[in-house]
Amino acid sequence: MAATCVRFGPIVLLALLAVAACSSGDSESTPSTPNLAGRTFLSTQVDGAPIPGGGPLTLSFKDDRLSADAGCNTYSGSVALDDNKLHVSGLAGTLMGCPGERQGADEWLSALLNSDPTWQLDGAKLTLRGGNSTVTMMDKKVVRPDKPIKGTTWLVTALLTPDAQVRSQTIDEVKPTLTIADDGSVTGTAGCNRITGRATGDTNLTFQLATTKMLCPAEVMEVEQAVLKALDGKTTATVDADTLTLRNTNGSGLTLRAQ
């Protein structure tokens, strides 16, 4: 009888260890964290302190990096999503001056991100709570599918140089526009004068334009010259939701928003 106990004792012990190991593995398993990488979200509702100028808040996640803006400057930095909180560090941003109510957008954004807001993802809906605000956001692909380049009226919001993006109150006031019809005909305004002409190509556009010959104040003519330089000859067009970016081979360019 004793020999029988000795023979089977180790087998029973091994079996118990195996059960314990399986039990331990089960207890350590945790639900997978929702993946935000590669997604961009836009605010659709803000409860509490509103975004100065109306926003929207835009958050883009790429690997462990975050890009954010609330209608003025764009900031980027490292992001960690531990404990369902948004921990952002090493933020650096552009240095554009924003007119009107948008002047306070950067301070609002800073207050939100520095509060380590909690986050909750439900399908296409992302909710942030922090900085005296609750921000409801939706996946950009859902709320703003890409607009077609042709057949859309585009409003110039910024001028592009090789080194910077330039926004100004003059641009906001004169509202340069551009429309490319399906047949390639172009109409719009450069800020002071009307634009007519043609554009050939799809995403690689070549412009041939003419304008009227009115004179406007110097600051308006400066904007107009920059717009016309960006539309002089060959450009590359990129659409992201309702934003069109045109970059000319001469180094200038435009950022435009669909109307």
User: For all residues of the chain together, what is the average pLDDT?
Assistant: 88
Domains of the chain are: 40-143 (2.40.128.270), 153-258 (2.40.128.270)
Residue 27: which pLDDT band, with cuts at 50, 70 and 90? very low
Q: Is 41 exposed, middle or buried (CB count within 10 Å of its CB: 0-12, 13-18, 19+)?
A: buried
Look at 22-26, 116-120, 152-156, 184-188 and tell me which has the smallest mean pLDDT.
22-26
Q: What is the pLDDT of residues 125-183, one digit of tens each?
A: 999 999 889 999 999 999 989 999 999 999 999 999 998 899 999 999 999 999 999 99
Q: What is the pLDDT of residue 33?
A: 53
For residue 202, the model assigns a pLDDT of 93
Range of weakest confidence among 26-35, 82-91, 199-208, 209-218 = 26-35
Q: 3-class SS at 169?
A: helix
The one-character DSSP state at 231 is T
- Cα–Cα distance, 153 to 180 (Å, whole number): 8
Q: In the structure, what pLDDT confidence band is assigned to residue 115 with cuts at 50, 70 and 90?
A: very high
Peptide bond into 56 cis (omega under 30): yes
Confidence class for position 34, pLDDT limits 50, 70, 90: low
pLDDT for the residue 154: 98
Neighbours of 205 (CB within 10 A): 21
Letter string b/e over residues 161-197, b meaning 16 or more CB atoms within 10 A of that residue's CB: eeeebebbebbeebebbbebeeeeebebbbbbbebeb
pLDDT digits (tens, 9 = 90+) for 40-98: 999 999 999 999 999 999 999 998 999 999 999 999 999 999 899 999 999 998 887 88
- Residue 9 clears pLDDT 50, i.e. is over it: no
Single-letter residue type at 245: T
Compute the average pLDDT of residues 113-123: 95
Q: Is residue 28 very low, low, confident or very high in pLDDT (cuts 50, 70, 90)?
A: very low
Residue 243 vs residue 26, higher pLDDT: 243
Count CB-CB contacts under 10 A for residue 6.
Answer: 8
Mean pLDDT, residues 233-237 taken together: 98
Answer with the residue of higher pLDDT: 24 or 90.
90
At CA 58, angle to CA 57 and CA 62, rounded to 5? 150
> What is the arithmetic mean of pLDDT over 211-218?
97
Q: Tell me if the pTM is above 0.85.
A: no
